[in-house]
Structure 1
Amino acid sequence: MDVVVFLLQAVLCLLTLPLHLLALFGCWQPLWSKYFPYLMAVLTLKSNQKIAGKKQELFSRIKKLAGASGKVTLLELGCGTGANFEFYPAGCRVTCIDPNPHFKKLLTESMAKNKHLQYEEFLVAPGEDMSQVADGSMDAVVCTLVLCSVQSPKKVLQEVQRVLRPGGIFFFWEHVAEPPGSWALMWQQVAEPTWKHIGDGCYLTRETWKDLERAKFSELQLEWQPPPFKWLPVGPHIMGLAVK
């Protein structure tokens, strides 16, 4: 199987050779980072139409974190275009963080459409280093379709636990690898070297549920969901929450 995967990867890389050459010489990422937010704006809009009910169910617990002021301090990690804003309850004070500064225009547009939220600030930083966010300052951290593309899921989850207050909740929605030994996983392995350039560093074969289990939250609730788009190589999704 490994030999077959390698050969098919080589064929796909040859078919997409200009893309790989641009990436090799450092030209692709600076160019693609400007246009990637617009691709995500289209995909997240269509995705929300398919999974709106599940997102509402997942984020309904946010309002229970409100203190006496009725406010919830919420950090969205890898905020992208702000596709989750419509599902947050009123009273959320939202801080956004993303390593791609080109999301800011679309993010600002999303915030303008969601007047029930209080927009705090947009921080440009990777999830592995959220030093601009104080220890224990957040009631909730939200991360959707982000852990697939970070350099170190372990470090990101350590940062999440640092910024959450005791009893704070981490909400997640991620795509993960197909089952071991399946043809679907083989095709993910074939596509991954090329897909990483298209998906802004996205890995198709990560077993993110294992990272969540190893992070040792006090409580972990996880549910498996089918992927919203059958025509993309992304596998099943996991959604749920973890309590600090």
Structure 2
Amino acid sequence: NYYKSLKGSQQSHLEEKLKLIQTAKDNMNNEEWDIAVPLFKKLQEDWKKIGHVPKSMTNKIWDEFRDACNTFFNNYREKSNTSTDNWKENYKHKKELLDELKTITNEDGSIEKIEAIKTAWNNIGKVPREKISINSEFNKTLREKLKLNKINELELKEEGLSENQLTDKARKIKSQISDLEAEIVKLENNLAFFNKPSRENPLLKDTFDTIDEKKAHLETLRQNLHSIIAGE
């Protein structure tokens, strides 16, 4: 019954998010900024409040929603006049996102919330010069929350990157893969010193667990690298 209920709620969440995607797509070329900007901010807020969807759909619907939001905000940035008033408003929105990021824990759904906050942050323009330190504070807080959730920033889904940024990201991932492979080999070599090393041995359990964790991380990085190379 529990799993049936869970499946039902995830399907319900999926339907809610699909409605948000449709609204975003319908309005992504809307240039009535007074109406559209608050609308998209509301859509982003609502997205974060909706719970988990079926795992097979998570990436697909996030990509669709993010792309529609990016299309709108890129157009908005290009066509709206950036004035001091805009910058003050930008600071206000960034402060709200920073405050929200600070409340993130390591509970289920936290990574999705971090992704949504980071995407929303990237869609906000400049802030007043005297307030620019908020960017450093955000990046510091982001690193803390990623560490808390045991995820690397390279694993976060991001808005469209330029060719140079993609190349740089791929280079960093390759470096991480190389480091992880070396760490795994070292740990496995350490195990080889024991006669018939077993996970049942309490002295070795942590080592086996660490190897498993690093291998899982390694697989994720390889998939990310493949996605970049394949242009997915």
Q: TM-score per shorter chain, which class?
A: under 0.3
Q: Which has the larger radius of gyration?
A: 2
In the superposition, the TM-score normalised over structure 2's length comes to 0.26
**TM superposition score normalised by structure 1:** 0.25
Larger helix fraction of residues: 2
Structure with bigger strand share is 1
